[in-house]
Amino acid sequence: MSKIMQQVLNKVLSLHCKGNIFIAFSGGLDSSVLLHILAVNKDSYLNKKIVAVHVDHGLQNISSEWAHQCEQVVRSYAILFKIIKLQVEKKPGESIELAARNARYYEFEQLLGPDDVMLFAHHADDQVETFLQQALRGAGVQGLGGIPDQRPLGEGRLFRPLLDISRYELEEYAHSNDLKWIEDPTNQQSDFDRNLLRNEIIPLLEQRWSGVKKGILRSSRLCKEASQQIDDNTNEYLDLLLEDNRLSVAKLEALGFVQQKNVIRLWIRNNNLVLPNRNRLEVGIRSLLGAAQDKNPILDWDFGIIRRYQGWLYIDHEQHAQPLSNQAWNLVQPIQLDSKYCLQVKQQAGVGLKKQYLQANNISIKYRKGGERCRPFGRQGSHELKKLMQEYKVPPWMRDCTPLIYIGDEIAVVVGCCYCEPFAEKGEGVITIAKMPAI
C-alpha cells in the first residue's frame, strides 16, 4: 500500500462513519485519486456503502460528456453513481462561481443522512491558494486558517482527507496507477482570481522563494491554531450569554466591541452559517445593540438573519420560517427537525417530563395550527397556546415553528417554554428537551 493511500485511508477510518460514504466526484485529478483509494479499499477496509456524486452545473457545452465519463469510471469500480443536474441562477451582485457553489452545496446538504459523511478532494495547493485569496481580502486569523478539514453538512458531515497532500504527489499517484482524469479548460483562464494565483502568481513566487508553499501552509496552520485559541476563550463568554440558542443583549453590552464581535461570529458559526463580511457585521452589531428599547433591529445577510426582541438576540437561516413536518419520536436519541436544527434530550434535576415516557410509542412532534390548549406544570386550568407563547415571549416569527411534543393527543411540552400536566414533574432525572443547532 502506497504512503498516500495509507495516509488517506487512516484519515477516513478515523471518522468511524456509521452511515454512508459519499464522495464529490468532478472527474478531475484530485477526486479521481480519492475515488481510486476508496474503490481499492471498499471491501477490505471500509465495508461501507460508497456513492460517487457528480454535479453537472450545465455551465459548459461539454458538461454532459464529462458526466458520462465520470459515470463510466465510477461503474468500472462497482461503486454507486449519482448525478445532480443544476440550473444555476445568480442573485444580484453574485458571481456565477459563487452561485454554482451555493447551489452545489445545497444539493449536498439534502443528500446526507444523520450518520453520513461526504468526502471532498481539496488538497494542499488549494489551501495555499485559499490563504492568498483570504490575505488579499484582508481576512483575519479565522479566514487565513484556510479550508477546514471537516464541518457539518446538512444532517451529516463534510470531510477533506487530502488537505496535507500536494497536487504534485497526487499526480505521481495518478500516473503510477494509470488513472485518467478530466482537465477543465477553464482552469487555464487567468481571468478568474484563483486561476490567476495558481497559474501565474504562485509560480512567480516559487521562482524567487522555492519553499513558498511550505511557508504559506505553516502560516495557515498557525492562524488556525490562533483562531482556535480565540474560539476557546470566546466560548467561555458565549456560555454565559447564551440561553436556548439566544443571546442576552444586556450581558453582551457589558463586553468590549472586539469581544462582542468574537461572540457573535462564533455564535453564527455554531449555527452552521456563513459569516457576513466585516463591515456588515460591525454595522449590524452597532444597530442591534444601539437601538432604542422599543425597536426591533435586525442584522441580515445572504445566509442568515439576527433579530433583537425583548432583550434577546435570535438567529435564523432565513427571513421567513418554513413549515416543518410532523414526526414520531421516542425521546432516546436527538432528532433532526430539518437540516439546521434538532431536538436534544437530557435527564437532569428540575422540571421536565416523567421518566416513564422514555421510549414511549405514542410520542410525536407537531406544530401550531391554531386553537391548541395545554396546562403548564404547576398552574391551574388549561390555557390557550397562543397566549402562553405571548406570555413566554416567544418571538412572533418563531411561534409557528416552535416544536410541540405530543403524548397521545395532548401537548406535553412546548419546547423552550413549558412542560405540561399531567406529563410533567419536578425532581431528579426528569426528561428535558431543547432545540439546538443540528449536530
Q: Tell whether the torsion through CA atoms of 231, 234, 238 and 240 is positive or negative.
A: positive
Q: What is the pLDDT of residue 94?
A: 66
Q: How far apart are CA 361 and CA 332, in angstroms?
A: 11
Q: How far apart are CA 53 and CA 427, in angstroms?
A: 50
CB atoms within 10 A of CB 348: 10
Q: Let me know: does 249 contact 311? Beta carbons within 8 Å.
A: yes
Q: Let me know: does 386 contact 417? Beta carbons within 8 Å.
A: no
CATH 1.10.1740.10 fits 244-316, yes or no: no
DSSP structure string for 288-319: HHHS-TT---EEEETTEEEEEETTEEEEESSS
Whether omega before 395 lies within 30 degrees of 0, making that bond cis, reads: no
Angle value at C-alpha 51, between 46 and 52, nearest 5 degrees: 115
Q: How far apart are CA 43 and CA 41, in angstroms?
A: 6
Q: How far apart are CA 34 and CA 28, in angstroms?
A: 10
pTM (2 d.p.): 0.73
Q: Domain residue spans in the chain?
A: 3-218, 244-316, 327-437
Q: How far apart are CA 196 and CA 191, in angstroms?
A: 7
Helix axes 212-241, 257-270, angle to 10 degrees: 100
**Each residue of 289-319: pLDDT tens digit?**
998 888 889 999 988 899 999 899 999 876 5
**Each residue of 331-368: pLDDT tens digit?**
888 888 876 778 989 999 999 999 999 878 899 999 99
Q: What is the pLDDT of residue 93?
A: 64
Reduce the DSSP state of residue 68 to 3 states and report it: helix
Q: How far apart are CA 300 and CA 317, in angstroms?
A: 10
Q: What is the pLDDT of residue 397?
A: 86
Q: Let me know: does 328 contact 363? Beta carbons within 8 Å.
A: yes
Angle value at C-alpha 275, between 271 and 281, nearest 5 degrees: 115
CATH 3.40.190.10 fits 3-218, yes or no: no
CB atoms within 10 A of CB 181: 20
Q: Let me know: does 281 contact 275? Beta carbons within 8 Å.
A: yes
Low-confidence ranges of the chain (pLDDT < 70): 91-94, 318-323, 339, 438-439
Beta pairing partners, 341 = 437
> Residue ranges of the alpha helices (H) in 344-404?
385-391
Reduce the DSSP state of residue 228 to 3 states and report it: helix
231: Cβ contacts below 8 Å, ≥ 6 apart = 266
In the chain, the amino acid numbered 224 is K
**Each residue of 83-123: pLDDT tens digit?**
999 887 776 666 777 788 888 888 898 899 888 999 999 99
Q: What is the pLDDT of residue 92?
A: 66
Closest CA to 6 of 124, 164, 175, 128: 164
183: Cβ contacts below 8 Å, ≥ 6 apart = 28
Question: Nearest 10 degrees: CA dihedral of 7, 12, 16, 17?
Answer: -170
User: Cell 488538497 maps to which residue?
Assistant: 123
DSSP structure string for 171-201: HHHHHHTT------GGGG-TTSHHHHIIIII
